A and B are shown apart, each in its own frame.
Chain A
Amino acid sequence: MKDSKALTFSGSVSRRTLMVGAAAGAATLAMPKVLRAADKPTLVTSIRSLSNPYHAVWKTGAEAYAKWAGLEHVTLVSEGNSEKGIADIKAMLAKTNGNMVLNSDPNDTPDARPIVEACAKAGAYVVTQWNKPGDLHPKDFNPNYVSHIEFDGIASGKTIAEILFKAIGGKGGIVALGGLISTTAAIERKKGLDAALAANPDIKLLDFQVANWKSTEAFDLMGNLLTRFGDDIKGIWAANDDMGSGALEALRAENLAGKVPIVGVDGIKTAVDAVRSGEFACTVTSDPFWQGGMGLAIGYNAKIGKFDPAKEPPEHREFYGKAVLISHDNVEEYYKTNVESKPEMDWNDLWGRVTGAIRA
């Protein structure tokens, strides 16, 4: 009965919906004109989500650069959905008529190709970070595909492992928490750990477990590892800070916080605080603030002709950025310049953090 009544009235509702729809349509039609009116290119940041601290800082860096350069800035969020990430970028390309600079952290490795091809076709300039297929190269898309930036996961994994080993006096058992098994970062950081272990035979890896980058999973895992190994655990290696902080809270529940050192990667605020209080031995960060701002800066400078991508050396087209180590020695200074205030960055120093070309 109720349903049939609803059906009868459905016609009158749809007329109102039509009016609203028409108004919305008119508004959308007016929008591209506003955007097109600007001569200056639009800066576009494409990232995975705003719900993780890493990409939140990335966005702050992008906004800081846009403000410094006096340009419009738009952030696109893929929410971990590759289709959406690519579609949003194509929509932006259409809106701006290709007059844009894109700094993208592609959601997944294969995504980089359609993104780069769409940008090259529309005449936009693009910088990718972290993820791209091995056979996709900036030099094949001159001048639109300006650069690709990564951070050497093997070096990060090894550096933090060595600092952890030193913190526990060069011998004893450790446990390791790895990231999502199939991701490049997880594989490389573990390789770095393995290399450090091979060089330090007195350190024993009690167990390697996977907590999928998440603090909640690391918390549960650590409780179990403590049950299994108890006091044999002298240190904890985590492939990112979020897992490290989950492990830290599990230690705290057993009154072990600060007694068992933890190391991680990313430099999120929780980890920096923990380094200050001595509960983390160190963390290393790719500096998302720099990634967010400098990716746009490199693309924009190529776009306005400050340099010609085709004439740049290979180590400016595909390179490892310099990671920043935050340990007991420099944490106070880092805290003052990066956490309490927004970092001051020299946005003209495009290649200052190049450490070398990416391994083939």
Chain B
Amino acid sequence: MKSVSDIERTTLMTFLPGRIATMLGGKRWRSLAPLAVLAVLCALITIANPNFIELRNLAAVPLTLAMGLTFIILMGSIDLSVEGTLSVAAMVVVLLAANDSNGNDYGWWAVLAAIASGTVMGLISGLVQTMLRIPSFMATLGMWFIGLGLSVYMLGGSAIRLNDASIRDLALHRFLGLPLAVWVALGAFVFAAIIQYHTRLGRHILAIGGDEDVTKLSGVNVTRVRIAAFALAGFFFGIAGVLAAAQLGQSHAVIGDGRLFAAVTAVVVGGTALTGGEGGVVNTLIGVLIVTVLANGMILLGISPYIQQTVQGLMIIAAVALSLDRVRLKIVK
């Protein structure tokens, strides 16, 4: 189906007027819409408040989380365990590094353990989904509560301080004017981009989202790809957990509160379809920037906190409406 329409378009593009028409009304323009929204937002806010250009506004934790989530949504699945996995990773790093609750001081091994625990959480989600044949929605909902319960139990309900100076430097130390956490998040983005565009795993994830049956018939081990994708997502959530703990200098069970919704919003606003098979990590980067710039912008513009959420909701609908060609959608659920 798709290839036929592509051929039609190529014939159109052989002469210039057709090409312009395609540029304006076609897919290419649509895929640039999120970027345009971002540019307009930035311009508006910068005019109102020149301080905006300062670079400390980059959001490290949401970016890292959204990278992981992108792969899951690309498959047409969903991962609700974001907050649970994040709080487990934050709990592990705080309890194993120097803290004010026990005598541990494993330094950067704690960071590795935290990322590993995030990956394991994701791995379990993947196994539960594929082996027990439970939809990702329910499997990861379960993992969310398991993770949350685990960190409530381990932290005893209280907030525990992270005293390891070198880990805290992730948030406090700056390189080229940006906190190290932002560099880590950008690193996560590059890593995610490499996986998506230059590895077999990335291709297979996209293929599953496009049409799982066809992918299976083409000889792809769908089960293995799904498990790997969930583990990969857990890996990114683990990194985000470490960054969140480093930023706040402490960990409590609800450290992930509200992160799931923000991450899903960012992925979708960037133009990745919830049905899977369309979009990618570059879209997500733009989506995260739109959501962050919007939230920051409202504060910089001094919009009353009583109506901020309403404005945010309107902007999200507008961004999604612009970024996908709704007319061509056959079914909207």
Interface residues of A, Cβ cutoff 8 Å to B: 49-53, 55-56, 59, 178, 181, 207-210, 212, 214-217, 219-221, 223-228, 230, 242, 245-246, 249, 252-254, 268-270, 273
CA distance A207 to B300 in the complex (A): 10
> What are 12 residue pairs bridging A and B, where the CB atoms are less than 8 Å apart in the complex?
A51-B152, A51-B253, A216-B257, A216-B258, A224-B299, A225-B299, A228-B49, A249-B248, A253-B172, A253-B179, A253-B247, A273-B161
Other A-B contacts than A226-B56, A228-B299, 10 sampled, CB-CB below 8 A, are A51-B253, A52-B157, A209-B299, A209-B305, A210-B306, A217-B258, A228-B51, A228-B302, A242-B159, A245-B250
Task: Give the residues in chain B near A224, CB-CB below 8 Å.
Answer: 57, 295-296, 299-300
Task: Give the residues in chain B near A227, CB-CB below 8 Å.
Answer: 51-52, 54, 56-57, 296, 300
CA distance A226 to B57 in the complex (A): 10
CB-based contact B244/A216 at 8 Å: yes
Q: Is the interface of A mostly helix, strand, loop or mixed?
A: helix
Interface residues of B, Cβ cutoff 8 Å to A: 49, 51-52, 54, 56-57, 59, 148, 152, 155-159, 161, 171-172, 179, 244, 247-250, 252-255, 257-259, 295-296, 299-300, 302, 305-306, 308
CB-based contact A53/B158 at 8 Å: yes
Smallest CB separation, A262 vs chain B (Å):
14
Task: Give the residues in chain B near A214, CB-CB below 8 Å.
Answer: 254, 257-258
Smallest CB separation, B251 vs chain A (Å):
11
CA distance A59 to B152 in the complex (A): 14
Partner of A221, one of B56, B172, B248, B299: B299
Task: Give the residues in chain B near A50, CB-CB below 8 Å.
Answer: 152, 157
Smallest CB separation, A42 vs chain B (Å):
22
CA distance A253 to B244 in the complex (A): 13
* Nearest A residue (CB) for B51: A227
Task: Give the residues in chain B near A56, CB-CB below 8 Å.
Answer: 156-158
* Nearest A residue (CB) for B259: A216
CA distance A208 to B249 in the complex (A): 25
Smallest CB separation, A172 vs chain B (Å):
19
CA distance A110 to B274 in the complex (A): 38
CA distance A183 to B171 in the complex (A): 32
CA distance A3 to B57 in the complex (A): 51
Smallest CB separation, A248 vs chain B (Å):
8
